[in-house]
Chain A
Amino acid sequence: MTNGKKKGLSRRAMLKGTAAAAGLAAGSGAITGFPTIWAQSNITLRQFGTGVSNLNAIAERCKQDLGITLEMTALDSDATAQRTVTQPDSYDIADIEYWICKKVFPAGVLQPMDTNKIKYFDKIVPLFITGKLTPDSVIAQGTAPHTVGFVEGMDSTTFAKEPTQWMTLIPTIYNADTLGIRPDLVGREIKNWKDILDPAFKGKTSILNIPSIGIMDAAMICESAGIITYGDKGNMTKEEIDTTIDFLIKTKKDGQFRAFWKTFDESVNLMASGEVVIQSMWSPAVAAVRSKGVPCVYQPLEEGYRSWGGGLGIAKHLSGAQLDAAYEYINWYLSGWVGAYLNRQGYYSAVLETAKENMTPNEWGFWMEGKPAEEDILSPEGKVMEKTGAVRDGGSFYDRMGHVACWNAVMDEDRYMVSKWNEFIAS
């Protein structure tokens, strides 16, 4: 143990709480002493992904705790998929979504991770392992993370049906998405996905223009409106795709949509500026609108949520000390500080137990348990996000993640779907 003072302190700060200490004791063999090694050898890991989770605060904290320098590059989700496949040497850690993983992992640009080296593997939310949140949950449609979470062997690029020792992505964040609304401008109760089709909102609605995600929103809307009942929303047949897109084209021609958004920021601007009063949205985007003093609600709907998840993958070319550092980083990522940081933004983290230790009971109660805030809820920057007494839209973690109707998906008919989607945009 050649731990410098700073390291010792920061790790202590990171793992306050006695439960954490107990947890640490169990795996101390793996973790003790590692940080100093990286501090001395100046290891740098290049990570890229969308701005959703490529946060500078995480890199800063990582440097502080582990001595590993994280170089973060934020891209939009298109560019993320692209870079994963086409420039595998340009990154060490890929922060991608599970549906992207389904596309890129078979290209052999990432290496599976040995679950034996993942310290908190057993504590990862079972959604990512078995697909079931609780033992009696029904697995949602679409590209559920567990279906692309494991491969058959160390050098395999074939997804395994059951959990194996080889994991493709270590889950980082995930969420259940629904429609965001401007309660001051919609002037009615919103209960179903089909409410976005209300003629009253003509020219004031929006959905996502990322095909793999947008098509799922569209499917939720179509099914809710009784246009079609899908065999499996996450794996539509050509006919189902045709029906869905035809309906979208008709809706677009009727002038129902104001715009389609592609980046997080666009959705915030559309909503905050009043261009749109109801649209598919992400939870932190709703928070961002609200923080500007504009009322915005993340409306739970009867049909359930459309969910997504992201994770960290390790580039194929990593080996030796860098690979060890990558594992160390991932273990650190799951060890609580990051989880708490992400939970506080309205996302969910993969290992709940460790995140809880890094949040106050009030924060945990508000974000995870659906309890009214006992005191003001602050953003990571210290701004007031929610006043005392506020309750999170959609309620607790189990209320929200337990009502997932489908996951963002890559279908067998993906190529066909994308060409139809282009037709929709071009119409």
Chain B
Amino acid sequence: MSEAATTTTMPGPGADAAAPARTAPPAERRGASARNIASYLQAAPLALILFVFLLIPIATIVVVSFWDYDFARIIPDFVLTNYKEALGSSVTWRTYLNTLRYAAIVWALTAVIGFMTAYFLAFYVRSATMQMVLFLVCTVPFLTSNIIRMISWIPFLGRNGLLNSALIHIGIVDEPLEFLLFSDFAVVLAMVHLYTLFMVAPVFNTLMRIDRSVVEAARDAGASGWQTLTNVIIPLAKPGIAIGSIFVVTLVMGDFITVRFMSGGQSASVGLMMANQISLLQYPAAAANAVILLITVLIIVAAIIRLVDIRKEL
């Protein structure tokens, strides 16, 4: 029962999709065609929505990325200029590098923080209700509009902000710390703030599924707490970490609003570059960038899946 309760807030991946046969009892094979129809009917809404709002839009973007444009219109055509301009420019490469750098740093931080948080919740909090309460407590700040939260970083981290005032008051620093705001530090901080929860959730989910007797056995065999953690728990939690990583990397790669606000417009990211092009009505250029971004993200995700078999989790 506690299982069901804890999953309420967990975007835990799982179930029998990849290997549906595994769990299908023999009884279900009877009347297979009728059940098949039921399955199709049940899956139809999902398929339809994803078709209309995911597949068609992506197809549109791919098509438009080959179109031409002038300063006011997009012109149906088949040209490669958008790709040539995007890939031929050193700005694009630098922007991608910068975005990947953000992704790497944010990923590392969220992985550590996320794992520790999830580990605490999964192994040290006793009741399922308490776990849920603590998890919900973590989600509350996200119900306040992100734009408002972004604005509030200025009075928090700014030159005369809360944090600097506090630091000066305590006497840790004499001068306000300038790097706290409008810097790479600020961007990473805000991203960690926004995205750690996406790591906590799947890791927590895997940790909850670890058979406690395995941990018990390790301990009985004389493993220290640290050895149990590194040799038993972390390897078993890998799929969850991988899924969390996919979330975090994807979110960072596509982010534009955090980078713009927190760097004070001084840093670039792929998302921001696209947003700029879109705002200047250069849709085909933005579309070409979008296709490149999508391919990049897919490669990263494929690499993660290669490293860790997340299907164990499914």
Contacts and interface: CB of A to CB of B under 8 A. Distances in A.
B71 A103 contact: yes
Contact of B159 (A103, A106, A275, A425): A275
Nearest to A208: B265
B154 interface: yes
A260 interface: yes
A332 B173 CA distance: 59
A269 B154 contact: yes
Contacts of B272: 425
B266 A425 contact: yes
Given A419-B91, A422-B91, A422-B273, A273 B71 contact: no
A273 B265 CA distance: 17
A381 to B, nearest CB: 22
A60 interface: no
A106 B264 CA distance: 33
**Max chain A Cβ within 10 angstroms of own Cβ: one of B72, B73, B260, B263:** B72
Contact of B276 (A103, A269, A422, A427): A422
Nearest to B272: A425
A258 B161 CA distance: 15
Query: Which bracket fits the contact residues of A?
Result: 35 or more
Given A209-B265, A259-B182, A414-B71, A273 B273 contact: no
B73 A107 contact: yes
Contact of B281 (A103, A260, A423): A103
B178 A425 contact: no
Interface residues of B, number: 35
A157 B57 CA distance: 31
A211 B268 contact: no
A426 B98 contact: yes
Contacts of A261: 264-265
B95 A426 contact: yes
B160 A274 contact: yes
A190 interface: no
B33 interface: no
A260 B265 contact: yes
A82 B281 contact: yes
Contacts of A139: none
Contacts of B265: 209, 259-262, 425
B266 A273 contact: no
B178 A203 contact: yes
A426 B279 contact: no
Contacts of A104: 72
Contacts of A252: 266
A423 B94 CA distance: 9
A66 interface: no
Nearest to B275: A78
A415 interface: yes
A81 interface: yes
Contact of A81 (B151, B155, B263, B279): B279
Interface of B: 71-73, 85, 89, 91, 94-95, 98, 151, 154-155, 158-161, 178, 181-182, 260, 263-268, 272-273, 275-276, 278-282
Given A418-B276, A425-B265, 10 more contacts: A78-B280, A85-B73, A107-B72, A107-B73, A265-B151, A273-B161, A415-B71, A415-B282, A419-B85, A419-B89
18 contacts: A78-B280, A79-B279, A103-B281, A106-B72, A257-B264, A259-B263, A269-B151, A270-B154, A273-B155, A274-B160, A415-B71, A418-B276, A418-B280, A419-B85, A422-B91, A422-B95, A423-B91, A426-B268
Interface of A: 78-79, 81-82, 85-86, 103-107, 203, 206, 209, 211, 252, 257-262, 265, 269-270, 273-275, 410, 414-415, 418-419, 422-423, 425-427
